[in-house]
Structure 1
Amino acid sequence: MRILVTGNAGFIGYHVARRLLERGDSVIGFDVVNDYYDPALKEARLKRLDETASTSSGDYQFVRANLADRDAVDSCFAAHTPDRVIHLAAQAGVRYSIENPHAYVESNIVAYTNILEACRHAGVGHLTYASTSSVYGANTDMPFSEHRPADHPLQFYAATKRANELMAHAYSHLYRLPTTGLRFFTVYGPWGRPDMALFLFARKILAGEPITLFNHGNHTRDFTFVDDIVEGVIRASDQPAEPNADWDSANPDPATSNAPWRLFNIGNNNPVKLTDYVAALEEALGRKAIVELLPLQPGDVPDTFADTSALETAVGYRPATSTQTGVRAFVDWYLAHYENVPA
């Protein structure tokens, strides 16, 4: 299977590409390797992918280009003819979307349109793409379910990812392109992004600096370990979306669709209070945090909780890594990778 993985220099994309190579797939990576955060970390991930490819039976090729460049995307599809696409490249970050919304238009709207167009012209068998739990926005009906509305995002990042879901449906309907959107819930783990909470907290605790907990630490999050996300992504990609078998063309229900399109939550199905997450990090580091409590930030969602029953029914998988296990794995990687951090 030839699988194009966009954003393979990024956190989740790196882990997905590596797992595919380890099982023997041919992987085409596509990433611009920008400087949204330290490019050295992205280059280190790419080096690890080269090392994995050298010992695996799968072929690996890397395209360093911008997905917003339509010609670059079309050339990649023409040269490599992927069977499937796993689209994980995006401009992430809730707070940064308030500062720089134009970056989200380029990376999450223009680039995504280029992927959709390339997939439909190339006859790709299945497009699996990343969405986010942030699309639930002002919804307070827990646990979050894919069957409930997600029409009131609280920041522009979430709005662009919700747009991706709707754009995918249009292409699935018009061109019968099978698409699967995956709403990730607070992913963390080794090789994570430096702007993520766990990364920031670890660095500051080790340096003896205070960490900031917004909403006075009362957030709850469905923290999901990256290995669980990867397993869900690959299982979903391996089972292409199909038209709704229960669709009645004679009496169509306007609330449903016959397109080969679907959405799944991927979360741990176990919300954890932010202060408990910090406690797990303190235990793993053997250090106490200096905590500064502040009010809720604009755009923040107070709580997230994933209903993962649809994912479990469709692909036979449910994330289950505990916070303590996942945080310990992150700390082990962090201390090994950043040898110059304070002891």
Structure 2
Amino acid sequence: MREISALERNGIVERASRFQPNQSATRAQFAAYVARSFEPSFRLDVTEQSVLYQGKVANTSTPLNVRSQPNMDGDVLARLTVGTTVDILGEVGNWFEIKHGNGVAYVHKNYIQKIGSSTSPSDDRKVMEEGRVIANSLNVRQGPSASTETIGRLSFGTIVDIYDYSGNWALIKFNGQWAYTHKDYLVTRKPGEGSGLGNLVIAIDPGHGGKDPGAVGNGLREKDVVLGAGLELNKRLKDLGASTVMTRNNDTFLELSQRAKIANDAKADLFISIHANAAASASATGTETYWNNSHSSEESKALAEAINKRLVEDLGMRDRGAKQANFVVIRETKMPSVLIELGFITNSRDAAVMKRSDFNEVVAKAVIKGIEDFYNW
């Protein structure tokens, strides 16, 4: 396609509406193409193509690249400043075909405003998703690349409308112009979905099981404590309309990699692994929640902080914080993932909390509140 575009642009073959690249050329046509290649005076006047309308460069703080092809791989032929007028000959995907010298070239639609209209043609785009910033400071760039100019920053919690994606970059409006920001630092939802959980698939992973009891102490086995909490969480999430997948719902042993695979295969939106802690010292106490930086690291961190806060408040445990760790189940899962340590089975006070009749209910409600905090805009 690049070669055909070059032939059209240099007046060797007719425009795409007349030149049929999949059909055989006659001898006369072939002779004409060869003659035009060697003698510029024989070439077609590509500027005779009808002008659809005129546009002007807008919505950019830096000069607009004019490219030889309707994509980012095209050579930069020129740069146009804001307000420069161009003749629009046609559209190719997200690009306008324009007159350029004695030929044609391409500019991105996002930066052209139709003359005589108060809005850019690209303003007709509809909002695809809404995004919430989960980084402390998120760069806003002129183009969909880290090598393009930074034109501003978004602070944690800022909500943006997303109009399109270019690879890992989200197209947004920033200070009245089109711009891009990296999607890995946004949590997204469909417009109007609110903070409900009904659109989510949540993987629940009660740790250990079967031949692996996990931590043991004060009359408790970790595998039993976390299964009870996981089953209650599963029930309550379903009551709220969420879809769930459990790595185990009975006293079964699974390898760690199996647990991650179950979540990945289900294309879960979140992964919640539930554990109870142990230490050589009986004085160790408290709740902590872990995240990993392999996948969706910023989202995982934000989710861990939100859930840990709610668990500490509702269980009355000592706050040991949200921490980064390299546990297999949160390293190999590809969605925002956390591993919760509810408390220390080896600590008599923490164990007493785990033995309460309402423990599973309190844990489930706290985790759900943490998830809602994570998504609540």
Establish whether TM, by shorter chain, passes 0.5: no
TM-score of the aligned structures, taking structure 2 as reference length: 0.25
Report which structure shows greater RCO (CA 8 Å, sep ≥6): 1
Which is helix-richer, 1 or 2? Answer: 1
Larger radius of gyration: 2
